Amino acid sequence: MTLHPEIAEFLAALPAPPEGPLDPVAMRAADEAHLPPVEERLPLHAVQDVTAKTDAGEVPVRVYTPAEADTYGLLVYFHGGAFFLGSLETHDHVARSLAQETGLRVVSVGYRLAPEAAFPAGLDDCYAAVRWAAGEDSGLDWDGATLAVAGDSSGGTFAAAVAARAHDDGFDRITHQILYCPSLDLDFDADRYPSLRENATGYGLETAGLKPFNAFYLDSGADPADPLVSPIKRTDLSGLPPALVVTAEHDPLRDEGELYGERLRAAGVAATVSRYPGAGHGFVQHFSWIPEYHRVFGETRDFLNRR
């Protein structure tokens, strides 16, 4: 299937990227320059900014409550942005849709970003936020049943790494991992996966851009050979939580996500791999308003409810 026409039209209208080295501060400002005002966002029962006091320090989180209840299943969400972009604001609409569709209380994590915060600061924040959310001191009224981790793109990297780290630490409360277009192999050799060549240009995220976009993270001490950096490098995937791996047909990262799902199944983990035709990388953040892509939130709900 060709790229969805509404996505193709949007990409064709984008200006050429500026020449020269990437400027993370300027790019973050541009990311947040055109966000909708709060009153135009999807309404929920409550949205609250909270400071999570964790072993990693104080971590800003935003808590989305879809409806009033005595206890809640929790979904802890990590935004994407190549480890140096993204925020609670840029992905606010994703967290709202997750809360509305799943009925879970969603905790979006404002983890520290590269290059200002060296590896593993962001990962530490995400892991600490999950453990905080499940604790009595969080005030989140966890029901003790559902505790999911989810993330898109580099947030998917963190979701997979947090699930593995929790398993290794004996923290067995994570019940699901949800990986949207995840970046699971930060070795960007174009010969490693066919999708890196098939989707190299013309679909938004380009293969040639992977190294410079991830350089802020890798140059801060993240080693692509480390399974906490490249979760696909983990040799033993057994015992990890059930997984939903969402991929996009025209994403350079498509094949590593699908291979990870296959390896999870081979290790005895209940894993669902769902490819979205006509979509490119980042469609969950940028194009979920298109009906055929908005269903990713309903698919997430169904996965969480599966027994």
Pick the closest to residue 178 from 191, 162, 194 (CA basis).
162
Catalytic residue among 153, 183, 195, 288, which?
153
Catalytic residue status for 251: yes
Catalytic residue among 251, 255, 286, 288, which?
251
Catalytic residue among 79, 281, 286, 288, which?
281
Burial of 84 (0-12, 13-18, 19+ CB in 10 A): buried
Catalytic residue status for 294: no
List Cα–Cα distances, 169 to 77, 165, 216, in angstroms.
20, 6, 28
Catalytic residue status for 138: no
Q: What 3 state SS string does the chain have?
A: CCCCHHHHHHHHHCCCCCCCCCCHHHHHHHHCCCCCCHHHCCCCCEEEEEEEEECCEEEEEEEEECCCCCCEEEEEEECCCCCCCCCCCCCHHHHHHHHHHHCCEEEEECCCCCCCCCCCHHHHHHHHHHHHHCCHHHCCCEEEEEEEEEEECHHHHHHHHHHHHHHHHCCCCCCEEEEECCCCCCCCCCCCCHHHHHCCCCCCCCHHHHHHHHHHHHCCCCCCCCCCCCHHHCCCCCCCCCEEEEEEEECCCHHHHHHHHHHHHHCCCCEEEEEEEEEECCHHHHCCCCHHHHHHHHHHHHHHHCC
| CA triple 145-107-267, angle to 5 deg | 55
Q: Which residue numbers are catalytic?
A: 153, 251, 281
